[in-house]
Amino acid sequence: MTPRRLDRVLGIRKRAEREQAQALGQAMRAERERAAEADAAAERLEACMRQVSDTLGSAPRAGMLHNLGLTIRAAARALEDTAAAREAASETVARQQEHWVERRRDRRAIEKLTERRAEEERVRAGRAEQSRIDAFEHHRRSGGGGRA
């Protein structure tokens, strides 16, 4: 691969890594939001349970107990839903992180290849220069480089 093509591929790999890093950041923000929602749902369920405890201290009516039961079931369902969303967000973060690691590894491989090719070119140029110097010295010593 020519150095120009390697530079182009490296640019593409860097852009892919940067885009994946942004996707990972978005997934992490979403995970934090889902965690906050799950925490809030847990707090609402605890508040409902405290309300039931407080209500049982007085003589509650059947209708009130029924309504409290509905409220608790709704809060428990909300907690389950937010916990599931939190788990899904965590899985998304893990996948996005894997993709980012892959993109990063790809970029580093191209960088190393570019460096290796540059080093090979430096060695090749050094050898060519040494060959010219050796030829010049050989020519000079063999009498071809005499003075006029």
* Dist CA 129 CA 134 (whole Å): 9
Q: How many domains does the chain have?
A: 1
Indicate whether 120 belongs to any domain.
Answer: yes
Angle (deg, nearest 10), helices 62-141 and 3-57: 160
Output the six-digit token pair for 110: 């191209």
Q: Rounded mean pLDDT of 94-122? A: 94
The yes-or-no verdict on residue 53 having pLDDT over 60 is: yes
Indicate whether 148 belongs to any domain.
Answer: no
pLDDT in tens, 88-97: 999 999 999 9
Residues 6+ apart with CB under 8 A from 134: none
Indicate whether 67 belongs to any domain.
Answer: yes
Residue 111 near residue 6 (C-beta atoms within 8 A): no
pTM: 0.70
- CATH number of the domain residue 93 falls in: 1.10.287.1700
The yes-or-no verdict on residue 113 having pLDDT over 50 is: yes
Domain around 110: 3-141
Indicate whether 146 belongs to any domain.
Answer: no
Question: What is the per-residue pLDDT for 148?
Answer: 46
The yes-or-no verdict on residue 144 having pLDDT over 70 is: no
Q: What percent of the chain has pLDDT over 70?
A: 97
* Dist CA 42 CA 86 (whole Å): 13
The yes-or-no verdict on residue 37 having pLDDT over 50 is: yes
Indicate whether 106 belongs to any domain.
Answer: yes
Of the given ranges (23-27, 66-70, 99-103), which has the lowest mean pLDDT? 66-70
Residue 45 near residue 79 (C-beta atoms within 8 A): yes
* Confidence category of residue 50, pLDDT binned at 50, 70, 90: confident
Indicate whether 66 belongs to any domain.
Answer: yes
Indicate whether 63 belongs to any domain.
Answer: yes
* Dist CA 6 CA 82 (whole Å): 46
145: three-class secondary structure by DSSP: coil
Question: What is the per-residue pLDDT for 147?
Answer: 52
